[in-house]
């Protein structure tokens, strides 16, 4: 990264201060593109660069998963331990570190969920062939992190809503399609 600061010959101001933090990039397994168009599945895990069994601090990893044309992407976590804090006042859980999943190809695609704690999210299936996932960690305390598997699955006919497949029965509203006769 290059930062250039240029000034002209008149009028000066107070200037700027910036904080520079070094973190891990694609080469260290933090973010990148995951191509499922030729592979049948792929695995994804949080970064543990020093191999101490805990993910690193200050991570901000973004992955874009590209599934096969006309398929949906399925994300299933096999282990999950991401730092969370319970606030004293309201007893609410705060995700100090988190995994964020979006149904689409970028950070502005519809949010499926933001997850932390020790309970793995249910299986997530996208509504098209893209999935975007982010892993954020703050400046202190790492946990074991996550391991997940990504696969292509056949779409549920006519569905454009992400469906969390679980072992329990789910209730949803589905409409039949009426085609004009003749
Ligand atoms: Ca580590
Ligand atoms: Ca943390």
CATH number at residue 39: 2.60.120.290
Tell me the three-class secondary structure of 88-109, residue by residue. Answer: CCCCCEECCCEEEEECCCCCCC
Task: Please indicate, yes or no, if residue 78 is contained in any of the structural domains.
Answer: yes
Rounded mean pLDDT of 116-144? 96
Distance (angstroms) between ligand 1 centre and the Cα of 39 equals: 28
Task: Please indicate, yes or no, if residue 46 is contained in any of the structural domains.
Answer: yes
Give percent above pLDDT 70 in the chain. 86
For the CA of 53, the nearest ligand: 1
The region of weakest confidence among 12-21, 22-31, 74-83, 171-180 is: 171-180
Distance (angstroms) between ligand 2 centre and the Cα of 142 equals: 5
More confident residue, 139 or 159: 139
Residue 90's pLDDT band (cuts 50, 70, 90): confident
Distance (angstroms) between ligand 1 centre and the Cα of 138 equals: 13
- The whole-number pLDDT of residue 40 equals 85
Task: Please indicate, yes or no, if residue 173 is contained in any of the structural domains.
Answer: no
Count Cβ atoms within 10 A of the Cβ of residue 138 and give its class: 0-12 exposed, 13-18 middle, 19 or more buried: middle
Task: Please indicate, yes or no, if residue 89 is contained in any of the structural domains.
Answer: yes
Task: Please indicate, yes or no, if residue 70 is contained in any of the structural domains.
Answer: yes
| Nearest to 76, CA basis, from 153, 151, 176 | 151
Distance (angstroms) between ligand 1 centre and the Cα of 59 equals: 11
Q: Are 131 and 67 in contact (CB under 8 A)?
A: yes
Task: Please indicate, yes or no, if residue 7 is contained in any of the structural domains.
Answer: no
**What is the SS3 assignment for 132?**
strand
What's the domain count of the chain? 1
Q: By residue range, what is the domain housing residue 137?
A: 26-153
pLDDT tens-place string over residues 53-65: 999 999 999 999 9
Distance (angstroms) between ligand 2 centre and the Cα of 140 equals: 5
- The whole-number pLDDT of residue 164 equals 63
Task: Please indicate, yes or no, if residue 100 is contained in any of the structural domains.
Answer: yes
Task: Kindly state the tokens that stand for 154.
Answer: 């056949």
Strands, E assignment, 12-109: 32-35, 41-45, 60-66, 72-81, 85-86, 93-94, 98-102
For the CA of 142, the nearest ligand: 2
Distance (angstroms) between ligand 1 centre and the Cα of 115 equals: 20
Residue 175, C-beta contacts closer than 8 angstroms, at least 6 positions apart: none
Task: Please indicate, yes or no, if residue 81 is contained in any of the structural domains.
Answer: yes
- The whole-number pLDDT of residue 167 equals 65
Distance (angstroms) between ligand 1 centre and the Cα of 25 equals: 15
Averaged pLDDT score across all residues of the chain: 89
Distance (angstroms) between ligand 2 centre and the Cα of 55 equals: 9
Distance (angstroms) between ligand 1 centre and the Cα of 70 equals: 38
Distance (angstroms) between ligand 1 centre and the Cα of 107 equals: 26
For the CA of 144, the nearest ligand: 1
For the CA of 138, the nearest ligand: 2
Model pTM score = 0.78
């Amino acid at each position: 990264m290059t930062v250039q600061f240029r000034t002209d010959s008149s009028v000066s101001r107070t200037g700027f201060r910036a904080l520079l933090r070094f973190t891990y990039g694609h080469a260290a397994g933090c973010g990148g593109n995951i191509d499922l168009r030729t592979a049948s599945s792929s695995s994804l895990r949080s970064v543990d660069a020093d191999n101490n069994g805990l993910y690193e601090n200050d991570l901000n990893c973004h992955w874009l998963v590209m599934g096969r044309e006309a398929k949906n992407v399925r994300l299933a976590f096999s282990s999950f331990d991401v730092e969370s804090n319970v606030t004293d006042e309201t007893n609410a859980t705060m995700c100090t570190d988190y995994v964020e999943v979006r149904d689409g190809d970028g950070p502005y695609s519809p949010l499926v969920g933001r997850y932390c704690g020790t309970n793995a999210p249910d299986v997530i299936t996208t509504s098209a062939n893209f999935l975007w996932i982010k892993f954020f960690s703050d400046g202190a305390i790492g946990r074991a992190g996550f391991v997940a598997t990504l696969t292509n699955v056949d779409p549920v006919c006519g569905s454009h809503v992400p469906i969390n497949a679980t072992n329990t029965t789910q209730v949803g509203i589905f409409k039949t399609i009426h085609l004009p006769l003749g």
